[in-house]
């Protein structure tokens, strides 16, 4: 007996994986149905690809390659072909499009959902299996395709009832960053590996902050578990050039700089109010002796990023409107609003590397996207040009985008932090071309389903309680199971979820089972009810409410009558429907 116990298999879940219960499954299904409707509204159609592909078809594009098989779960089949579990839904789509290229309409717009698998080191928020929900346009080189993806991402957040101002779709361009790296001398083939390390370091900005990214751009970083990640080994000058570029177009970084300069400047509270609210006073200040102060000079340079400080027709395409991103600037307990403007951001970015053709071409594409999205009514409050967006996957070739949720949550140490990214994507013009030997432009977007679900649960936008269970038909007489089965069939034929109790035990265990199944009611027929041609309906929801009421109250007596009642057997369906309607089920 002791040996049997010692050999007992231990039930355990591998690290980086998670089980899901009925409540989460039901809520996720509802969330994904909302996403599906938005995707179909934009003209995308469903397609499915298998979870297993040939390893060479998936390619080697993962951002983390510090694990065996370079981040992919792989194995050999019986004819020694290498197969892998898909690590995203984009690479399998590229294979599907290439294989069916001649029969598919071009551009080809599709969506698909499914689990993907990463052979990576598990950690908080990092899983080996997780679900994605993607939409892609293959066969269009127009920036209108990217603009539509960005607008669809914004509309998806809106349909999921995430409030305006609690999300933003950030957009950048891989060509812009490539131009930066070329300008600082890292553009040749010899530095291809370092460029990839830089991309992956910058992609961790949201998670590690700028100091963590600086470490990865330099010698490397030791994480909380004492694992060391080797860095790009850039010089201090190269690091500062990259950081300057990232921060130059980042609106939140600009706000932090404004607040720092205001505190360092000789301006008092009255002068700061005039700076933000009084145009004439501001013009006088620009021409006055204060401008000799270096901090104030920098302050005015940064403020030109915002339309509050521009004249229409000079640097501003239009006045501020309600869809622009408001940014709060705080000085001596007062808050002042500035508003982001995508075209002013682009104008500012153009000055940084004016001679880089790659850099300027990337900004040209971003300007096209901003023009198209703004014409459709999407201001910087929903779609924001921001160069801090990188995306770690190697296959991106042009615009990249990320959906960031901006509402605060508490970190492990109790400090408020932003929730962060719940989806992203970009243009991958070379992925399908690997199979065809000809240019096939493509762009797409992926939602991280589990992370988005966690965000919606935090906002109270999804029902995290389990759905009610089926009606339970109890078994009073084991010799009459056929009678009880007939009742279950009658309920099912009427479209009512119903279940015959199949366990062992008397009435008490059957009621406990019904409670655990969250059943709204049970059906009871003992020998007395059978003789009368009746059934008893016991309303478990009302029964639970009775436990909290005083027996002397009138509503107790009323609910007691509702909690259990007898009806003729032929009225079973009508009686159960009455109970379900009472609880809006």
C-alpha 187/C-alpha 189 separation (Å) is: 7
Tell me the per-residue pLDDT of 19-38, one tens digit each, with 9 for 90 and over.
Answer: 988 888 989 999 999 999 99
Least confident of 97-101, 114-118, 546-550, 576-580: 546-550
**Mean pLDDT of the chain, nearest integer:** 86
Q: What is the mean pLDDT of residues 280-293?
A: 65
Is the pLDDT assigned to residue 68 strictly greater than 50?
A: no
- Calculate the alpha carbon distances from 360 to 178, 302, 355, 378 in Å: 11, 21, 8, 24
Tell me the per-residue pLDDT of 345-375, one tens digit each, with 9 for 90 and over.
Answer: 898 899 889 999 999 999 999 999 999 999 9
Is the pLDDT assigned to residue 69 strictly greater than 60?
A: no
Q: What is the mean pLDDT of residues 128-150?
A: 96
Cα dihedral sign for 410, 415, 416, 422? negative
Confidence class for position 292, pLDDT limits 50, 70, 90:
low
Helix (H, G, I), strand (E, B) or coil at 161: coil
Is 471-582 a domain of CATH 3.40.50.800? Answer: yes
Q: What is the mean pLDDT of residues 61-87?
A: 74
Confidence class for position 62, pLDDT limits 50, 70, 90:
low
Confidence class for position 1, pLDDT limits 50, 70, 90:
low
Residue-level pLDDT at 80? 84
pTM across the whole model: 0.84
Residue-level pLDDT at 66? 42
Tell me the per-residue pLDDT of 550-572, one tens digit each, with 9 for 90 and over.
Answer: 666 666 767 777 889 999 999 99
Confidence class for position 227, pLDDT limits 50, 70, 90:
confident
Residue-level pLDDT at 534? 95
Residue-level pLDDT at 189? 79
Is the pLDDT assigned to residue 290 strictly greater than 60?
A: no
């Amino acid at each position: 007996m002791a040996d049997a116990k010692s050999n007992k298999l231990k039930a355990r879940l591998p690290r980086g994986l998670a089980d899901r219960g009925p409540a989460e499954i039901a809520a996720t299904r509802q969330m994904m149905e909302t996403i599906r409707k938005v995707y179909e509204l934009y003209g995308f159609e469903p397609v499915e690809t298998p979870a297993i592909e040939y390893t060479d078809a998936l390619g080697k594009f993962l951002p983390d390659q510090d694990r065996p098989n370079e981040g992919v779960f792989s194995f050999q089949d019986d004819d020694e072909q290498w197969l892998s579990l898909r690590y995203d839904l984009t690479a399998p789509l590229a294979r599907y499009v290439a294989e069916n290229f001649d029969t598919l309409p071009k551009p080809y717009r599709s969506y698909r959902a499914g689990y993907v698998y990463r052979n990576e080191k598990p950690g908080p928020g990092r899983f080996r299996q997780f679900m994605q929900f993607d939409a892609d346009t293959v066969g269009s080189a127009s920036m209108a395709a990217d603009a539509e993806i960005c607008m669809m991402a914004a509309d998806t957040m809106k349909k999921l009832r995430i409030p305006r101002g609690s999300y933003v779709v950030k957009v950048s361009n891989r060509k812009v960053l490539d131009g930066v790296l070329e300008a600082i001398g890292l553009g040749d083939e010899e530095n291809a590996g370092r460029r990839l390390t830089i991309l992956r370091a910058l992609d961790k900005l949201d998670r590690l902050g700028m100091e963590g990214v600086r470490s990865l751009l330099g010698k490397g970083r030791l994480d909380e578990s004492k694992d060391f990640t080797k860095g790009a080994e850039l010089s201090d000058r190269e690091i500062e050039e990259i950081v300057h570029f990232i921060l130059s177009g980042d609106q939140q970084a600009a706000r932090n700089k404004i607040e720092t300069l205001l505190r360092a400047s000789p301006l008092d509270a009255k002068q700061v109010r005039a700076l933000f609210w009084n145009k004439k006073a501001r013009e006088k200040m620009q021409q006055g002796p204060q401008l000799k102060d270096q901090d104030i000079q920098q302050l005015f340079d940064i403020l030109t990023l915002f339309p509050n400080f521009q004249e229409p027709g000079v640097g501003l395409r239009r006045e501020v409107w309600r869809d622009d991103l408001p940014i709060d600037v705080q000085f001596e307990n007062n808050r002042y609003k500035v508003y982001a403007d995508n075209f002013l951001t682009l104008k500012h970015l153009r000055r940084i590397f004016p001679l880089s053709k790659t850099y300027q071409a990337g900004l040209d594409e971003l300007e096209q996207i901003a023009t198209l999205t703004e014409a459709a009514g999407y201001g910087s409050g929903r779609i924001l040009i921001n160069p801090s967006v990188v995306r770690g996957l190697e296959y991106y070739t042009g615009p990249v985008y990320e959906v960031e949720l901006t509402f605060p949550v508490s970190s492990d140490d109790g400090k408020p932090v932003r929730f962060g990214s719940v989806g992203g994507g970009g243009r991958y013009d070379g992925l399908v071309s690997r199979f065809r030997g000809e240019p096939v432009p493509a762009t797409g977007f992926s939602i991280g389903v589990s992370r988005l679900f966690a965000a919606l649960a935090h906002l109270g936008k999804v029902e995290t309680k389990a759905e009610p269970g089926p009606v339970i038909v109890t078994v009073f007489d084991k010799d009459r199971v056929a009678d009880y089965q007939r009742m279950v069939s009658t309920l099912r034929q009427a479209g009512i979820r119903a279940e015959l109790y199949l366990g062992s035990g008397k009435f008490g265990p059957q009621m406990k089972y019904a409670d655990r199944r969250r059943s709204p009611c049970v059906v009871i027929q003992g020998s007395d009810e059978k003789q009368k041609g009746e059934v008893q309906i016991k309303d478990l929801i009302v029964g639970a409410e009775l436990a909290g009421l005083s027996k002397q109250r009138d509503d107790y007596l009323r609910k007691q009558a509702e909690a259990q009642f007898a009806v003729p057997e032929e009225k079973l369906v009508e009686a159960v429907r009455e109970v379900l309607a009472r609880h809006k089920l």
